[in-house]
Structures are given as C-alpha cells and as structure tokens.
A and B are shown apart, each in its own frame.
Chain A
C-alpha cells in the first residue's frame, strides 16, 4: 500500500505573526519556518503504518517556494521514502493545491492520502476535503485514530459533541487531528540519511493546472487589541468586580 502525505512549510507555531505595515499581508520574512504541525502528525501516521507493515511506501509532497524542500527533508528524516516538490512562485490557495495534488495522485496512485487537517498560516482547513471532492473519493476528516483492514480505513473523527467512527473504502483521503499521534523527533542519523533520499522537483507551470488565485487580498489588519485589565487581590474583590463593574454574574 502506498501513502501520499502532502506537507506545507509554514511559520513556526511558536511565533506570533505580525501584520505588514502596508496592510498587504503578514510579515513572514526572517521568521523561523517549520513543517505545519498537523502535517507532522500526518507524516508520523504514514510512517507508523509502514513500520507496522501496512504500507509499503510513503511519499511526501510539498508545494511552494524551493525552500519547501527543507520540509520534505524533514518528512524524509521522519521516515518518508521520497519527496516530490512542486515549485510555485506564490503560495497557492487550497483549491489550486488540491488540483496540483490531483496530478500527483494520477501519477502515483496512492491507496491512502493523509494530510494535516489545517495549515496554521491561512487556517483554511480545506485542502484534504477539496482533494477528496476533486478525486470523487471518500474522506475522513479530523482523524484521531486510523485502522486499515480489508481495503477499508476505519477512522475515528473528532466531531462537535464527541467522536464518530466511520469506515471508508480505499483509496481515500484522511485529515489528521491533534490526537492522532505524537510525532517523533528525527534522529541525527536519519536526518543524514534523508539527504540521500530521492527528491523530485516539478515546476507547477509545466503542469496542466490553472493555479491562479480566486481570492484577492484587499487588506490584512491586526485585530483590535483588548483593553489592558487589572489584577485583583482576592476572590472577594473578583466577585465584587464581576457583579458590580462588569455586571456579568
């Protein structure tokens, strides 16, 4: 069984991003970049399925500027067998990403595609579902558990009131939620080994896919700041403030 894992290079989750002074976007220059945390979980799950003997090959794919190859090397250091980088000049929207991935799926024919449920930069939470729609294949989003058997995946999904378990026929698309697993740290020998794993680079312009954005960014602004609050000295003072000043209890 072949597993495809799309991964995205994003601003590290520990960094609070600021808005550019001209209001055209977020200031990302010079910031630490990492693999999107949900994609790390997706890679980990795919590698575990390979270690269990369920999967035979794990292919990581990334879309973006050439530096996204660092993210692919990280995926390969975690255990992915090879990488595919589709280079683009700008960061494409989820619909365009899904269309580019559709081309790769056509070439590689994976049985399972695992993606992070959401990229922490644009917070779209859309690529997996869009890819599933384009491919006309079943989807299991927000996965907290995946079991593969008899050509199907049984996936536990985090829903509003609790957990739902569904069974989907492979090939299928799964998006990873936080509780699916705890990703490993790549060891130094594996980081070295990853440098020798195959990495294919494809220019998005050479693919028959229209990746022009559908959304124009009109402006990006900081949200209004909250007024500074006060420290209270005691429970009695807190209750007094909530009752008489804030009037919320």
Chain B
C-alpha cells in the first residue's frame, strides 16, 4: 500500500495546500511525492516529514504545469500506487481529473474527510450536503480540500530524490503568458485572518482605500465575493465561494457581502465570522458569530482605527 502525492511549489517552498494533501495521504500507507520544478523545490519536498521518495521532474517545460505532460507523467508513475492525491488547488483541479480518466477511474474531488482507504466525505450542492462515497475503483484518484487537513510541517524528513525522465516535447499546448498578482499580504487560502469585500464597497477605490487598510492592520488576506469580482472591484483570484477559493481562517470579516449560498460555501467553515452590512436582513448575518448593522464606509475606518 503506497500513496503518490502530487506537490506544488512556490519560490522553492512546498505550498501549504500540498502539505495538507500529504497529511490527508498519511492515512493510506507509505508516501511518495511527485514534484515538477527546480532543484530547490525537490529539496523542499525531500524535507517533508513522512515522505519516503521524491519523484522529481526537472526542466522548464514540465515545471510550467501544463495538464497534458504532467498528467502523462503521473499516469506513467501510477503503477506502484493505490492512491494518487493532490490538493484541490486550481492546478490540482486541472490535472487530476485528466489523470483519473487516463487510469479509467472516477475522480473523488474536494475530499474533506477520509473514512477508510475506499471511503471519503465530500461536499455537494455548494456545501449544503456532505456525501460519503465508497469507490470500487482499484486505484483512487483524489483531490483534498486543504482547509480540512492540518498541514504537515515543512521540515523534519529526509527523503531520497529520484529524477524522472523528461516529458517528450509537444506543441499541442504551450504557455503564452502568466500574470500573477504580487502581494505582500498572506495567501488567501491559508491566511489566519481574511477580510472580504462585496458589492457594498461600490468600486475598486473602496477596496484599496477602505478594505485594504483594515486587512493590513490585521495582517489579513483580502478576499472578495463573486459580485465584487464580476463588477471589477477585485481580481478573480480573490474570489471566495463555491467556485472560487475555499477558506477557513480563524477570523473571516465579510464586509458589504449579502451572503449568497455560493459565497457561504467558500467561508462558512471559518472559526469566527464577522458580518458588517447595512442591510439587517442580509443572509450573511445567519452565519455570522458577530454582526454589525451599519454603513461600511463609516464602520470600517472606525474599526481600522480601533485596532
């Protein structure tokens, strides 16, 4: 019994979501990890506690993370494993269903609990129901929701690194450009505190001038509702919800967010939820531990000053 965990790295560090995937996988036996990236990424993977072997795919092409070569590489390595696991990140969601199809396996996405080696719990209907499903496939291909599993530490192990053969070059798919927002703030999906803004902010100026000072005072990540992203107040990668990022911080402040079920699906597992909205009837108050009815343009600067 062995598990293969597909890791992602950023600037030579293993992403926290991937470390949560290792934690979820640790229930299934010996853990090997596969990482595409530079030598520093492989070294970081080798330090994860509990990892037996690092399968390292070096080279620029494979490190770009395109689904086709990476899925082929994972499938070629799959024989020795009963479970193939990644985090439910944008990359994991892109690649793992393709891997599952190539192995003739039904993928089990967004796992929030592991019952046994065949049985897993996952949310459906925007988190309004939790389904426990048992797989009859010989191999299981899973993505795990990182907020549901405490990540393993970044250090403590010393796994062997085994280089993987290079993927054959292909022109079927290639990267044209990548635009990644640079931010000094913590990452949205792993931040201890998240300050999210909705349609009530009325514009991107208020995101900068009203919401961000509060986030910076708290050392928080900034999030947004779908409405705010659709209106162009905030970039897409800040969207919290059923189809955006799933977050579960210790403190979630929902500012000017009405609380559509699709938004609640992305944040209702937060430990403490604060809602600030001028509409006392807004559904967000039903999930909030602390609600404050008021004009955010008055309340948020006061709150920022009071902290």
Contacts and interface: CB of A to CB of B under 8 A. Distances in A.
Interface stretch (A70-78, A134-142, A186-194): A134-142
Contacts of A88: none
Contact of A238 (B93, B108, B136, B303): B303
A199 B63 CA distance: 45
Interface string B129-149: 111111111000000000000
Interface in B72-110: 89-91, 93-102, 104-110
B112 to A, nearest CB: 9
B132 A118 contact: no
B122 to A, nearest CB: 8
Contacts of A113: none
B242 to A, nearest CB: 7
B273 to A, nearest CB: 7
A213 B136 CA distance: 9
B237 A238 contact: no
Contacts of A230: 289-291
Interface stretch (A43-51, A61-69, A104-112, A164-172): A164-172
Contacts of A178: 226, 229-230, 243
Contacts of B109: 123-126
Tell which of B96, B129, B262 has the most Cβ of chain A within 10 Å: B129
Q: Chain A interface: which size bin?
A: 35 or more
Given A18-B128, A223-B128, A246-B290, 19 more contacts: A127-B97, A129-B93, A129-B94, A129-B98, A130-B101, A133-B97, A133-B98, A138-B68, A159-B90, A167-B176, A177-B236, A213-B106, A214-B137, A218-B119, A218-B134, A223-B127, A226-B273, A226-B289, A242-B274
B129 A19 contact: yes
Main secondary structure of the interface of A (DSSP, over half): mixed
Tell which of A19, A154, A179, A235 has the most Cβ of chain B within 10 Å: A235
Contacts of B176: 154, 165-167
A215 B135 contact: yes
A7 to B, nearest CB: 17
Contacts of A137: 172
Contact of A223 (B66, B130, B137, B230): B130
B307 interface: yes
B132 A162 contact: no
Contact of B128 (A17, A144, A234): A17
Given A223-B130, A239-B303, A94 B106 contact: yes
| A-B interface, 6 closest residue pairs, ranked by CB to CB distance from nearest | A133-B101, A129-B97, A130-B101, A126-B97, A214-B106, A133-B98
A98 B291 contact: no
Contacts of A214: 105-106, 135-137
Interface string A143-155: 0100000000010
